[in-house]
Structures are given as structure tokens and as C-alpha cells.
Structure 1
């Protein structure tokens, strides 16, 4: 990932406005809370994501992606995570893509997204998350992240929003 893109995304997501683009997930107080959490986090940044699995169903693309907060993932880790992601059903990906926590909700705090998030290796700085592309929307190739008090928070960033 280009350092310029990472710097730009961190600066952009320091403001409430970008959170409103997330299909209504961030309205009102949630938009402000997400930006405040991101700005006040112990650590924050942006990373390019790894595509682990992708399935097309009824005109939507359901994907499982991962980011590493500690540099690039090895081929072995990507292969392990890919194999695990491929075990999730399309129905599970749809459900979890709808309910996966985003800022200001912590990764793993919502039992409705437990199957995908259980693939994360938080102790190793690896976060796994589902995404849903609708229509002609571009993939979520990037992600902004924050760590606060041992919890990790993310917002997948669509290539449409770069």
C-alpha cells in the first residue's frame, strides 16, 4: 500500500463526513462517535486488504477480506485464512456482511458476525471481516482501523470512495 494512500485515508477518516457513505451505517451520533473514536485511538491507520474468498449470489458479491496491522501476510497465513473463509456459507456471509461491526463497534462485539470475526488473529494484528458489494460498486480493497483499550475497530473502504 502506498504511504500516500494510507496518509490520505487516515486524514479523511479523521472527520465525520466519510462515515456517512457507509450505506446508512453511520448516522447522527454514530458518525460523530466513529470519528471521535478514530481520532482518540491509541493507534490508528489504514491498510490494503487481502481478498480471502469471494462469491457472487443474486447480483451481489460477498467477500471475506483481511488486513494485517503488522506488515504483509505470509503466503502460508493467507492460504490458511482462505481455506477457513471458504468454509463459510453464502448465507452466513450475507448475514454477517449486514451486521459486521464497524466503528464505533469493536471487532468481535456482535455475535451476529462471530463466524467471520472468529477467523481474526487479533494477537497477531490480523483482522478478518466480511464485505458486500452491490451492483457496480467496486471492492473494498482498503480498510481504516483503530485500536483502543485492547479492542480493534475497522471501516472497510470501497475503491469507489478513494
Structure 2
């Protein structure tokens, strides 16, 4: 089921632009499709998902939990995330982000992306200590029916190369 939700999320993110109203028939078809595919999750207006990943051939450990809350008009997302740098890492910069895309009512009878944002933090020194993010962000949107929230760490090495690890892929 998680693979289906992730696939649908990627299609939605690539298909719809923020605050764009689409043709009514398009909205109806999309609404039916999302309703059928995501129906098992419909009873959850709030969720927290845990993750535990390694990256850079074991040089970093990326773990924690992300949360998303859908209410009537006010919504929130965020995470409690820790990145530990193991021995042998060659990190010069670490960029941590929690992203959230919300889909819902746009205009009088449209459907589309109603919010697209992120919480970002960067670390450029003292990699002997863990890099943490513990933050929630509020946003307002009408008629949110689905959100996709994910976390990512992007590492730049001392040689200038980069790699990323996502909580959910």
C-alpha cells in the first residue's frame, strides 16, 4: 500500500501546480481516483511515520519521525529527526528538510495543490555532534483531502560530491 501511495504522490506533484484551478471534469476524475486509491487512509487526519536509514555507505544514520495533521482550515507538518555522523564520514555540509505537499479544493469547483512547503536546516561544522530537527510548521488551506510529507538529508562531502537519503522512497 505504501508503494501505491508514494507513486500517486509523485504523479500528483508532477501533474499539478500550486493554487491552479483545473477543469471541473478533470477535478471530478482526479477526485474519484484519489478517493479510490487513498480510501484506506481516509480515516486518518493525523499521522506519524517513523524511519531509520543509513547513507553514504554507512557513514550517516538518518532516523526519526515525520508528522502531518489535517484539520478543517488549519494544518501542520514537521518532524523529530536526528542525523548521526559515524566514523569515517567526510561531511562538509548537511542540509536537512521536511517537505509537505497538500492537495485539495482550488477555486469554486477545482482540485489541485493548495500548499507546497518545507522546513529546512543546514549544518556546516561540528559533525562530531548529532544534527537534529524538531519542528512543526502550521499552514492554512481550505478543503485539504490529502498530504504527502517526507524528510531528506543532503550531504556535501569535503571533495564536493553530494548524496541524499530520503526517509520514504
**What TM-score bracket applies, with the shorter chain setting the length?**
under 0.3
Q: TM-score, normalised by structure 1?
A: 0.27
Structure holding more helix per residue: 1
Structure holding more strand per residue: 2
Q: TM-score, normalised by structure 2?
A: 0.27
Q: Pick the structure with greater CA Rg.
A: 2
